[in-house]
Amino acid sequence: MKLLLIGSGGREHALAWALAKSPKLTKLYATPGNAGIAQVAELTDLDVSDHGAVIEFCRSRGIDLVVVGPEAPLVVGLVDDLEAAGIKAFGPSKAAAQLEGSKAFTKGVCDEASIPTAGYGRFDNADAALAYVRAQGAPIVVKADGLAAGKGVVVAMTLEEAEDAVRACFEGSFGAAGAEVVVEEFLEGEEASFFVISDGTNALPLATAQDHKRAYDGDKGPNTGGMGAYSPAPVMTDALVSDVMKRIIEPTISTLAKRGTPFKGVLYAGLMITDEGPKLIEYNTRFGDPECQVLLMRLESDILDIIVASVEEHLDTISAAWRDDVALTVVMAAKGYPGSYAKGTEIRGLESLGSDTVQVFHAGTRRDGDRLLANGGRVLNVTALGATVGDAQKNAYDAVAKIDWTDGFSRSDIGWRAIERESNS
Ligand code: AMP
Ligand code: GLY
C-alpha cells in the first residue's frame, strides 16, 4: 500500500516508524514531516488546508490511504473531501470530529447517552455565564467551546479567576473558539487517558496512558502540549477499562452512529478517576502527542492492519497485541518553550541511540546537510521500554543524557506519580 501521512510532530514520527514496519507498506509519503520522519518516508510540502491540492497529490502518486495525525485537518473535513474524491482516509469525518472540535457538542452526546461527566452549563454571553459561575461558586472550570490549542481551559480555584476567564473568552482571547463557553463542575481525582479505535460501529480498546502537561518538574509552570507520558496508566485497572468501555466509549460510538455521523478513527478519552468512578473530561479525535509514542512503542500488532480495519469497517475481526513492558517518553524542548524560543540550534549525539528498547522520535527537527537542527518548541521524544515505570524512566533518561543539545531542556521527573505508586505497592 502507498500511504500519505499528514503531520510533523513526534506523534507522526512514531506513526511513520510503526507503519514502516508493516510488510503491507510499499511507499510512505509524509507532509510536511520532520527530520525523523524523513528516515522512513519521502517528505513533500503540501498545503494541507488546500484539500484540492492533497487530492491532486494522492491521485498523481496513486495513494491508497491517507493517515491524518493532528486534529485541525479533521475538524475542517479533510477526510470527508478525500472520501468524496474516492480516496480512503483514516480519521473521523468533520461531523464526528466535533467530539474534539466542540466541548458543547460532546456535552450534548453525554446528556443523550447518560455518559458520566462533569455537570455543566453552556453560554453564548458573558452575563449568563457570570451568573452561573457565581451561583455555583469556586473551584469551577471555564472552557472556550472550540479548538484553542489546549489553552482554552481555566481550572479556577477562586471566583475571581473564574469570572476573569469568562470575560477573557467573550472578549475574544481564544478567537472564534470562545464565542461559546462551557462552565463545568470541578472534578477531583487522578487523570488518565484511554485510547480506542473505532470503525463507526465497533470500538477496539487500545491502551491507557498518563501525561505531564506542565513545563517544569513537580508538575509546575505553564501548560504545554505535554512534556512526557507513559503507558499503561497504573490507575486504570482492567475493571476500570471495561467500565469505561461500557459506560463512556460504547455509548458514544452508538450515539454518533444513531445520529448518522458514525465515528471512525482514534477516540482519545481524557478521564478523571473520581470516587464515584470514571468521568469523561474531554474527547480528542486523534492520537495524543506524546501519548502516541508510548502506545506505539508497546504495540506488537501491525498498526496498518488496525488502521485498515477501521477504514474498511471490520474492526470486529482483529485484535491488538501489546508488550507487557511499560513505555515512557521524555520530551526535550527548546529552552523557553512554551514561551518564545530559538530555532536552528544544533543537536548532536543521536547516532548512538535507537535500539529495541529506546527510540528517539523527532518532533520539531530539520536537517541542514549533515547537521540536525531544532525547528520547534517540542523537539525530541526520547522513548524507552522497561519492566516497570521506574526501569523505563531510567532507560529514557540514560538516553537523554547521551544527547548533546545545550539549547534544550527536559523535565527530570516524568512518571513520578506512577513510580511512587510502584514503590508503595
Ligand atoms: P481539557 O482541555 O478539557 O482536557 O482540559 C485541560 C485540563 O484541565 C485537563 O487535563 C484537566 O487537568 C483540567 N480539567 C478540565 N476539566 C476539568 C474538570 N471538570 N475538573 C477538573 N479539572 C479539569
Ligand atoms: N498530549 C495531549 C494531547 O495530545 O492532546
Strand, coil or helix: what is 78?
A: helix
Lowest mean pLDDT among 105-119, 125-139, 169-183, 293-307: 169-183
Q: What is the pLDDT of residue 2?
A: 98
CA 153 to chain centre: 16
Helix (H) or strand (E) holding 419: helix 416-424
Q: What is the pLDDT of residue 425?
A: 76
* Per-residue model confidence as pLDDT tens digits over 69-85: 999 999 999 999 999 99
Q: What is the pLDDT of residue 248?
A: 98
Q: Does residue 289 have its Cβ closer than 6 Å to ligand 2?
A: yes
* Per-residue model confidence as pLDDT tens digits over 208-260: 999 999 999 999 998 899 999 999 999 999 999 999 999 999 999 999 999 99
Ligand nearest to the CA of 225: 2
Between 118 and 171, whose confidence is greater? 118
Q: What is the pLDDT of residue 422?
A: 87
Ligand 1 binding pocket mutation candidate from 133, 136, 155, 193 (most atoms within 8 A of CB)? 155
| Residue 178: pLDDT over 70 | no
Q: Where are the domains of the chain?
A: 2-93, 125-179, 190-317, 326-424
| Residue 177: pLDDT over 70 | no
Ligand nearest to the CA of 147: 1
Q: What is the pLDDT of residue 144?
A: 86
Separation of CA 358 and ligand 2 centre (Å): 22
Between 179 and 89, whose confidence is greater? 89
Q: Does residue 282 have its Cβ closer than 6 Å to ligand 1?
A: yes
The C-alpha cell 492520537 sits at 287
Q: Does residue 155 have its Cβ closer than 6 Å to ligand 1?
A: yes
Q: What is the pLDDT of residue 145?
A: 81
The residue among 35, 33, 54, 56 whose CA lies nearest residue 43 is: 33
Q: What is the pLDDT of residue 352?
A: 85
For residue 257, give the amino acid letter.
Answer: A
**Distance between CA atoms of 194 and 205, rounded to whole angstroms?**
8
Residue 67 per-residue DSSP state: E
* Per-residue model confidence as pLDDT tens digits over 95-152: 999 999 998 999 999 999 999 999 999 999 999 999 999 999 999 999 888 777 666 8
**Distance between CA atoms of 406 and 83, rounded to whole angstroms?**
46
| Residue 266: pLDDT over 70 | yes
Q: Does residue 38 have its Cβ closer than 6 Å to ligand 1?
A: no
* Per-residue model confidence as pLDDT tens digits over 360-413: 999 999 999 999 999 999 999 999 999 999 999 999 999 999 999 999 999 999
Phi, psi of 407 (to 5 degrees): -90, 10
| % of residues, the chain, pLDDT over 70 | 99
**Distance between CA atoms of 247 and 118, rounded to whole angstroms?**
14
Strand, coil or helix: what is 417?
A: helix
Looking at the domain that runs over 125-179, which CATH code has it been given?
A: 3.30.1490.20
Phi, psi of 409 (to 5 degrees): -145, 160
Looking at the domain that runs over 326-424, which CATH code has it been given?
A: 3.90.600.10
Determine the topology of domain 2-93 in CATH.
Rossmann fold (3.40.50)
Q: What is the pLDDT of residue 134?
A: 95
* Per-residue model confidence as pLDDT tens digits over 7-60: 999 999 999 999 999 999 999 999 999 999 999 999 999 999 999 999 999 999
Separation of CA 420 and ligand 1 centre (Å): 23
Ligand 2 binding pocket mutation candidate from 267, 284, 293, 295 (most atoms within 8 A of CB)? 284
As given in the structure block, the three cell numbers for residue 372 are 540536525
Please state the rounded mean pLDDT for residues 289-297. Answer: 98
As given in the structure block, the three cell numbers for residue 254 are 452508538
**Distance between CA atoms of 209 and 268, rounded to whole angstroms?**
10
The C-alpha cell 449568563 sits at 128
Q: What is the pLDDT of residue 150?
A: 63
**Distance between CA atoms of 39 and 41, rounded to whole angstroms?**
6
Q: Does residue 211 have its Cβ closer than 6 Å to ligand 2?
A: yes
Closest ligand 2 atom to Cα of 150: 5
Q: What is the pTM of this model?
A: 0.95
Q: What is the pLDDT of residue 226?
A: 95
Please state the rounded mean pLDDT for residues 414-419. Answer: 96
Q: What is the pLDDT of residue 171?
A: 87
> In Å, what is the CA distance from 90 to each residue of 41, 55, 167, 304, 309?
18, 14, 38, 10, 10
Ligand nearest to the CA of 280: 1
Determine the topology of domain 190-317 in CATH.
D-amino Acid Aminotransferase; Chain A, domain 1 (3.30.470)
The residue among 140, 187, 118, 189 whose CA lies nearest residue 417 is: 189
* Per-residue model confidence as pLDDT tens digits over 229-240: 999 999 999 999
